[in-house]
Amino acid sequence: MQDILINWSPQETRVAIIEGGAVQDLYVERALERGLVGNIYAGKVARVLPGMQSAFIDIGLERAAFLHVADLHRDPSAGRGTARGNPDGPPPTPIEKRVFEGQTLMVQVIKDPIGTKGARLSTQISIAGRLLVFLPQDDHIGVSQKIGSAELRDQLRMRMQRLAGEQGGGFILRTNAEEATDDELAADIAYLRKTWGTIRERNLVSGAGTLLHEDLNLAQRVLRDLVNDETQSIRIDSQLQFDALGAFGREFTPTSVDQLTLYKGERPIFDLYNIDQEIERALARRVDLKSGGYLIIDQTEALTTIDVNTGGFVGARNFDDTIFKTNLEAAQAIARQLRLRNLGGIIIIDFIDMTREEHRDAVLAELRKQTGRDRTKLTVSGFSQLGLVEMTRKRTRESLAHMLCEPCPTCDGRGQVKTARSVCYDILREILREARQFNPKEFRVIASATVVEMLLDEESAHLAGLSDFIGKPISLRAEPTNAPEQYDIVLM
């Protein structure tokens, strides 16, 4: 069973999914930094790049968004080519023959801007409802593979074909549509078609860079996407949002309204399960395991690495069992950390080396079992020749660390700074370089207190020798606000 806690404030909404008394998922949305995935824009083609089979599209954001040829809508009557991964179909038409600079396109964001990369777009529009996803440019009926048997999926597909009629547009039945009545499905169809009609009308009268449709906010998406048969309560700590969410739920997700309650406790709602402490731990590089082992998680632009260590765990009868039990516990913790931190892209896991094949198979099976609960698309490969497990997790929004943190201004995100002695030698080299180009009366060094202290003490002989060599005095001044690597050399 799961409980959902919603902590709301005017500037930020935070959602925690609790299972077994522990936080399993975290979602954060800030009013000034709302995600763009699902938003539909009137975009203008700024540049076409035939060599990359892509185009940059201006949708009114700080950075131009990115559209790949594979994400251009393809007319179903033309067949499905290799652009969508079908090797037997005709080759896709090159992007330079399909779009041109200055062209206006209706586009939808499928990936938020991440780091220095702009948003990724698609012209294949989809609009999500409570039970269905509407595909206004297609005509096929799809059913979620998570729904029961093939026979049940065929039955649902036939029902949908009858309900959708001849008005056009395709639909995908979401997992929670498995037990929906015809009336519920028909209501969702009507809502989605009405929404699409509004989007089309706005597009006809709007200029490039206009937002045509915005996805639901985080609290509303909780009712639409996160509530399931396992949900026993949805608690929110704002009367205003409780009323608004109740009205939304009664119209679009009536089955979830009964679980919605207003939290009136004196303690902050996230204190019930120490969620703020969990967030702090999810931002740390080291994750301690109950057994005494620990994980080291390093997130970079290219990939995320997770190193498993035994630490102080010596509980098993022999070394092989100790390693095996640590790796099993690590597999469980890694799956949870991926969700809490919202880590995406390529992930490399370095489990402790295991000599027995059955141990490796068991750890891999446990990892696949635990990641099977993830709502985000994820693939796990086997052990590589180097003994590493490679996996990928779909990245559609910023990770928790990228959302809540920024690079350290002192080390610029490197995680380390030069030693005081290294900075001293940089200063001495810089003075020698300046002395060859300029002829001041004096060189004055302004640096951190630690660097100045070392120049006056351990490096004083080298400083005096340089002063004699260039024939100029060198004075020092400590600046308390300087970072360890920051210094200035002033020509007096």
- Quickly list DSSP for 20-89: TTEEEEEEEEEGGG---TT-EEEEEEEEEEGGGTEEEEE-SSSS-EEEEGGGS---GGG---GGGT-TTS
pLDDT of residue 86: 53
Is residue 412 in some structural domain?
A: no
Same domain, residue pair 253 and 303? no
pLDDT of residue 81: 44
Domain count, the chain: 4
Structure tokens at 75: 């007319």
CA distance 258 to 6: 16
Same domain, residue pair 48 and 99? yes
Same domain, residue pair 19 and 67? no
Structure tokens at 112: 């938020």
Q: Which domain range does residue 296 map to? A: 285-404
CA distance 45 to 104: 6
CA distance 294 to 312: 9
pLDDT of residue 79: 46
pLDDT of residue 445: 96
184, 213, 242 — which closes off a domain? 213
Same domain, residue pair 157 and 90? yes
Q: pLDDT tens string for the chain (492 positions)?
A: 899 999 999 999 999 999 988 899 999 998 887 888 899 999 999 999 999 999 999 999 888 999 999 999 875 554 444 444 455 556 778 999 999 999 999 999 999 888 778 999 999 999 988 789 999 999 889 988 777 778 888 888 899 989 988 888 899 998 778 778 888 888 889 889 988 999 999 999 988 889 999 888 999 989 888 887 789 999 999 999 999 999 988 877 787 888 999 999 989 999 989 999 999 999 999 999 988 899 999 998 889 999 999 876 655 567 888 899 999 999 999 999 999 999 999 999 999 999 899 999 999 999 999 998 888 888 999 899 899 999 999 886 788 988 888 888 888 888 889 999 999 999 999 999 999 999 999 999 999 999 999 999 999 999 999 999 999 999 999 999 999 999 999 998
Same domain, residue pair 121 and 160? yes
Same domain, residue pair 200 and 225? no
Contacts of 95 (CB under 8 A, 6+ apart): 48, 49, 50, 53, 54, 55, 68, 69, 72
Q: Which residues pair with 354 in a beta bridge?
A: none
Same domain, residue pair 267 and 197? no
Same domain, residue pair 329 and 449? no
Is residue 378 in some structural domain?
A: yes
Same domain, residue pair 118 and 195? yes
Same domain, residue pair 207 and 62? yes
pTM of the model: 0.72
Same domain, residue pair 70 and 109? yes
213, 235, 255 — which closes off a domain? 213
375, 404, 433 — which closes off a domain? 404
Same domain, residue pair 290 and 341? yes
Is residue 105 in some structural domain?
A: yes
